[in-house]
């Protein structure tokens, strides 16, 4: 099989390419050039491209570079900026997967005659006896990335490979060391690739949108303080609010960009009985009302049981078994089957 492997310059994608090569596939590595600006972190730096190229040389496979920077700006960077401008909390890595790794890259791979694309994600793809494809949690529960690849539909699932999903992270590094790959001990990328460590989110956004000062008030409307930029505040935040010392801890309950007002209160006030999500994509078919699902609202958060209270054309209303802390609007929510093993759907918190 002819496979195009997305090589980010990290150890997981390096071993993914090596595993496919060992299995006898015709493997070609590709690194996507996404961000053209300053980068000292993530998977977009010049050194990452060089690491991917050098690993491809070690594995004796061809290595390509695709320039998708315009698509990255349109589908990841600009929406990230717009989200902050309008008071929601974006998830750029998921949008990169949605629009670049499992859309734009797959389109290019098909045009070039590849039989499949592969990445180094810690997740698995299985075909059920019914013929339905599912994303399954990775073998390493601490590194599981099924949450960030939840958007794959049946067409993409049938075309995608996750060669390291059955391995733990320790096993991945062990195999990289056995092969002498230069990425064997390379640390995992943790941050948004277009936000530099030196400048940070405030500097990045400050060059692109005007910041507006905002009042910080309690639930009665009593003013407690102010912040310099309402665009930098998110639901659930506690630090950076510049509130008077000695008072009980206060958390952001709501962000109203239109009136430049931030409402704070007790952490208990963040609890909600339900969660509404839009832009919902089911990996196959929607479940009937009343079905129980396990729900994950952050990349490494624990899942919680909920019932499907409403199911629309592209939306769901989930009712928690027990009230849960509110998830910031704009974040991704992923539904798993009751065993907490297979991805059923994912959407964006309203």
Determine which one of 43, 44, 93, 96 is catalytic. 96
Give the whole-angstrom CA distance, residue 77 versus residue 93.
Answer: 10
What are the residues facing 332 on neighbouring strands? 348
Task: Give the helix/strand (H/E) hosting 274.
Answer: strand 271-282
Using an 8 Å Cβ cutoff, are 340 and 294 in contact? yes
One DSSP character per residue, 61-83 reads -EEEEEE-HHHHIIIIIHHHHHH
Environment class of 80 (CB within 10 Å of its CB; exposed 0-12, middle 13-18, buried 19+) = buried
Residue of 253, 226, 254 lying closest to 240 (CA atoms): 226
Look up 193 and say whether it is catalytic: yes
What 8-state DSSP symbol labels residue 342?
A: B
What are the residues facing 295 on neighbouring strands? 304, 335
Look up 43 and say whether it is catalytic: no
Provide the token pair at 46.
């010049």
Q: Is the dihedral of CA 142, 145, 148, 152 positive or negative?
A: negative
Using an 8 Å Cβ cutoff, are 205 and 232 in contact? yes
Q: Which distant-in-sequence residues (6+ apart) come within 8 Å of 30 by Cβ?
A: 4, 5, 6, 7, 63, 64, 65, 66, 105
Determine which one of 43, 44, 93, 193 is catalytic. 193
Residues labelled catalytic:
96, 193
């Amino acid at each position: 099989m002819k496979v195009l492997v997305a090589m980010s310059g990290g150890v997981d994608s390096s071993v993914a390419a090596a595993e496919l090569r060992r299995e006898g596939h015709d493997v070609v590595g590709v690194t996507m050039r996404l961000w053209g600006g300053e980068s000292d972190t993530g998977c977009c730096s010049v050194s990452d491209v060089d690491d991917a190229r050098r690993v491809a040389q070690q594995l004796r496979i061809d290595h390509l570079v695709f320039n998708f920077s315009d698509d990255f700006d349109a589908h990841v960077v600009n929406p990230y900026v717009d989200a902050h401008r309008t008071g929601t909390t974006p998830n750029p890595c998921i949008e990169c997967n949605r629009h670049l790794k499992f859309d734009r890259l797959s389109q290019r791979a098909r045009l070039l005659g590849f039989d499949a694309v592969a990445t180094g994600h810690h997740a698995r793809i299985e075909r059920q006896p019914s013929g339905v494809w599912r994303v399954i949690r990775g073998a390493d529960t601490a590194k599981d990335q099924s949450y960030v690849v939840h958007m794959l539909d049946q067409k993409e699932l049938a075309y995608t490979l996750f060669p390291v999903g059955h391995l733990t992270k320790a096993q991945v590094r062990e195999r990289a060391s056995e092969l002498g790959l230069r990425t064997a001990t390379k640390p995992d990328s943790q941050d948004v690739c277009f936000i530099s460590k030196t400048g940070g989110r405030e500097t990045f956004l400050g060059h692109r949108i005007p910041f507006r000062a905002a009042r910080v008030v309690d639930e009665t409307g009593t003013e407690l303080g102010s912040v310099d930029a309402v665009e930098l505040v998110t639901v659930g935040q506690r630090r950076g609010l510049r509130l008077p010392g000695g008072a009980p801890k206060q958390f952001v309950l709501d962000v109203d960009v239109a009136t430049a007002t931030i409402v704070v209160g007790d952490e208990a006030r963040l609890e909600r009985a339900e969660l509404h999500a839009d832009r919902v994509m089911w990996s196959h078919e929607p479940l009937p009302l009343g079905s129980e699902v396990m729900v994950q609202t952050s990349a490494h958060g624990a899942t919680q049981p909920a019932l499907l209270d409403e199911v629309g054309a592209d939306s769901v209303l989930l009712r928690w078994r027990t009230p849960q802390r509110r998830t910031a609007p704009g974040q991704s929510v992923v539904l798993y089957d009751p065993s907490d093993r297979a991805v059923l759907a994912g959407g964006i918190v309203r």
